[in-house]
């Protein structure tokens, strides 16, 4: 169906303005989901909340998105667009009110799940409508570029405002800011959409399958986030979660195979190019989260505030936007050259990891950190769109929506692997480096003797007694040891990722040469 069915006539005469309004509507929906600073402020307000509680509250919303997305693609077209979007925003505002009053961590997580659902309802429907405003030959490329760029930069954009609120006032005030943004989006919906868009009978949808996926996804998130901290299957709740994941995942897959209206069409897994793109996507998601180690370093070693971190993300956003524009132009000019562009993106990601592994020290400035943060964003911008296009175009048109859903599943699973993997890597590497440093803390080590003497003399000169000076010196040395172990750990992880990306680059280069050879052989035969 064309755009004239959905939009008022005045918007069709100002098509660029219409596209901008649709992007703003999607941003208003993503804002509630994307603000990590807001979520962190809410969760740490609870007594005893830990880092894993923050991660769970963050990622349970992905379960809501992944659960609702295939249902939304099937049934959303049966409703009046304006009414559908207005009701979705009203549900989001109701959830915001619930956030301001809840005092229970698990209830908060349930609300976060439904935040993912309402985000999906708005963004999924608006994205499809955005496609109708684009030339048919460029819909997938440009529409996907808009969408995935918004996903990448939405979090930093919202966090700019959220961190300002967290630093200056009661953080719950930001929920009212979000509701104001949603009211503005509702005004845009009323302004651009017709009130009498065609409706159809609601098609059959696999609601039981969605429930199976939601349970499996929630249990997987719990097991992967809390598992590394509670010794995996040695902890009974983790063991129960693992059983739930196995049972409900098998039930979900079995149901998708036997019903005539599945949420996802499993036939997509027979397309090797799609599987290849999916593996690239999972790998990319896994290694790109190393940026969080830089932000962790800035907070724990440099003492940056939330506002400082958000300001640093500006460099990342600029890199993403610039590289996305470059990648879209390159794809439009050379539609078949996705692999070379992906190869260049991984080369930039390789340079980012290698550069920071050689750069890291205890006294880096904002200027020092801005270069790797920008480079990371530039690499993500080069990779995100072409890998996504590779996945979607590898499938026939009737399976494109299934491809988008499975890419969403991949994003969720990669994020969980990233959290569990980074925690385990940091734990192992930190313990290893700490043991090495402790073994060298003796009076035969000249550097240790000099540092201990410096601390003792400084404290004695300021009036402390010998006993107090000794205790404080030990505390300062322990803190210095912890900092050095953390720096060595970050360097080790970046070097590991450098090696992994190097192997991926080698594989892609060999694959590219093989593809060119196959193409030349085909041309000679023809």
- Does one domain contain both 387 and 241? no
Would you say residue 211 lies in a domain? Answer: no
Residues 251 and 275 in one domain: no
Split at pLDDT 50, 70, 90, the class of 200 is low
- Residue where a domain stops, chosen among 163, 183, 205: 205
Please identify which residue in the block is written with the tokens 């692999």.
339
Under 8 Å between Cβ of 207 and 68: no
Full DSSP string of 256-300 = HHHSSS-SS-GGGGG-HHHHHHHHHHHHHHHHHTTHHHHHHHHHH
Same domain, 253 and 379: no
**Rg, Å, the chain Cα set:** 25
**CB environment 339-372: b (16+ within 10 A), e (fewer):** bebbbbbbbbbbbbbbebbeebeeebeeeebeeb
255 in a domain, yes or no? yes
| Residue 390 sits in the same domain as residue 485 | yes
How many C-beta neighbours within 10 Å does residue 316 have?
25
Q: What are phi and psi of 45, to 5 degrees?
A: -70, -20
- Report how many domains make up the chain: 3
Position 254 confidence tier, pLDDT thresholds 50, 70, 90: very high
DSSP-derived letter for residue 225 is H
User: Which of these three, 245, 262, 279, is where a domain ends?
Assistant: 262
**CATH code at position 512:** 1.20.1250
Convert the pLDDT of each residue in 223-251 to its tens digit. Answer: 988 888 887 888 888 999 999 999 999 99
Greatest Cα pair distance, the chain, in angstroms, is 90
The residue written with tokens 């550069």 in the block is: 355
Structural domain boundaries enclosing 295: 270-526
Q: Are residues 325 and 227 in the same domain?
A: no
**Residue 372, helix vs strand vs coil:** helix
- 419: which residues sit within 8 A by CB, 6+ positions away? 55, 59, 224, 225
What percent of the chain has a predicted confidence (pLDDT) above 70? 85
Mean pLDDT across 496-524: 86
Q: E-assigned strands of 359-493?
A: none
Question: Is residue 176 a part of any domain in this protein?
Answer: yes
Instruction: Tell me if 320 is assigned to some domain.
Output: yes
Assess whether 506 and 367 both reside in one domain: yes
Q: Is 44 within the bounds of a domain?
A: yes
Instruction: Tell whether 43 and 5 lie within a shared domain.
Output: yes
CATH number, domain containing residue 43: 1.20.1250.20
Whether residues 431 and 330 share a domain: the answer is: yes
Tokens of 53: 């509680």
Phi-psi region of 265 (alpha: psi -120 to 50; beta: other; left: phi over 0): beta
Least confident of 391-395, 437-441, 477-481, 504-508: 437-441
- Asked whether the predicted pLDDT for residue 397 surpasses 60, the reply is yes
What's the pLDDT tens digit per position in 98-128? 888 877 888 888 888 998 899 888 888 888 8
Coil, strand or helix at 193: strand
Say if residue 377 is in the same domain as residue 430: yes
The 10s digit of each residue's pLDDT in 122-149 is 888 888 888 777 776 666 666 666 666 6
Residue 210 domain-assigned (yes or no):
no
What is the per-residue pLDDT for 19?
82
Mark whether 14 and 133 lie in a shared domain. yes
Tokens of 233: 């299957």
pLDDT of res. 506:
94
Average pLDDT along the chain: 81
In a domain, 194, yes or no: yes
Instruction: Tell whether 238 and 326 lie within a shared domain.
Output: no
Q: Summarize the confidence of residues 42-46 as an average pLDDT.
A: 62
Least confident of 172-186, 371-385, 474-488: 474-488
Q: How many whole angstroms separate alpha carbon 178 and alpha carbon 31?
A: 7
What's the confidence (pLDDT) of residue 467?
A: 74
Instruction: For residue 159, give the nearest of 43, 325, 272, 30 by alpha carbon.
Output: 30
Asked if residue 228 lies in contact with residue 424, where contact means CB atoms within 8 angstroms, the answer is yes
Residue 470 and residue 462 in contact, taking contact as beta carbons nearer than 8 Å: no
- Domain co-membership, 198 together with 222: no
pLDDT digit string, tens, across residues 283-321: 998 888 888 888 887 877 777 776 777 778 888 888 888
């Amino acid at each position: 169906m064309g755009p004239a069915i959905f939009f008022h006539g005045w918007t069709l005469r100002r098509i660029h303005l219409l596209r901008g309004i649709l992007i703003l509507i999607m941003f208003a929906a993503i804002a509630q989901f994307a603000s990590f600073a807001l979520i962190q402020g809410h969760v740490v307000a609870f007594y005893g909340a830990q880092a894993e509680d923050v991660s769970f509250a963050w990622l349970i919303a992905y379960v809501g998105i992944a659960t609702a997305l295939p249902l939304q693609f099937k049934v959303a077209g049966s409703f009046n667009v304006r009414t559908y979007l207005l009701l979705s925003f009203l549900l989001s505002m109701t959830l915001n009110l619930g956030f301001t009053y809840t005092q229970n961590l698990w209830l908060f997580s349930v609300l976060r799940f439904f935040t993912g659902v309402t985000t999906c309802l708005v963004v999924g429907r608006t994205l499809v409508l955005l496609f109708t405003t684009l030339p048919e030959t460029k819909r997938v490329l440009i529409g996907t570029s808009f969408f995935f760029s918004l996903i990448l930069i939405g979090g930093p954009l919202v966090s700019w405002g959220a961190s300002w609120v967290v630093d200056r006032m009661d953080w719950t005030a930001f929920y009212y800011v979000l509701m104001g943004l949603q009211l503005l989006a509702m005004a845009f919906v009323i302004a651009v959409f017709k009130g009498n868009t065609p409706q159809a009978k609601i098609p059959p949808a696999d609601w039981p399958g969605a429930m199976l996926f939601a349970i499996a996804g929630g249990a997987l998130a719990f097991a992967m986030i809390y598992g590394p901290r509670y010794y995996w299957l040695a902890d009974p709740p983790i063991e129960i979660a693992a059983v739930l994941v196995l049972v409900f995942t098998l039930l979900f897959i079995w149901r998708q195979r036997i019903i005539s209206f599945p949420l996802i069409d499993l036939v997509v897994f027979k397309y090797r190019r799609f599987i290849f793109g999916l593996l690239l996507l999972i790998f990319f998601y896994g290694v790109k989260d190393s940026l969080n180690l830089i932000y962790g370093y800035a907070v724990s070693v440099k003492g940056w505030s939330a506002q400082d971190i958000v300001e640093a993300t500006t460099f990342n956003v600029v890199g993403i936007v610039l590289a996305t524009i470059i990648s879209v132009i390159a794809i439009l000019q050379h539609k078949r050259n996705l692999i070379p562009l992906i190869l260049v993106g991984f080369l930039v990601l390789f340079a980012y990891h290698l550069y920071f592994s050689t750069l890291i020290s205890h006294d880096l400035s904002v200027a020092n950190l801005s270069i790797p943060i920008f480079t990371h964003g530039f690499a993500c911008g080069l990779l995100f769109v072409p890998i996504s296009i590779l996945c979607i175009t590898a499938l026939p048109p009737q399976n494109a929506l299934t491809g988008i859903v499975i890419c969403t599943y991949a994003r969720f699973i990669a994020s969980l692997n990233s959290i569990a993997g980074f925690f385990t890597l940091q734990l192992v590497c930190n313990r290893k480096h700490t043991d090495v440093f402790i073994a060298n803390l003796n009076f035969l080590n000249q550097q240790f003797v000099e540092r201990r003497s410096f601390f003792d003399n400084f404290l004695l000169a300021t009036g402390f007694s010998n006993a107090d000076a000794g205790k404080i010196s030990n505390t300062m040395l322990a803190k210095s040891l912890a900092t050095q172990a953390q720096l060595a750990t970050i360097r080790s992880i970046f070097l590991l990722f450098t090696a992994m990306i190097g192997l991926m680059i080698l594989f892609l280069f060999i694959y590219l040469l093989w593809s060119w050879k196959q193409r030349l052989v085909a041309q000679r035969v023809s």
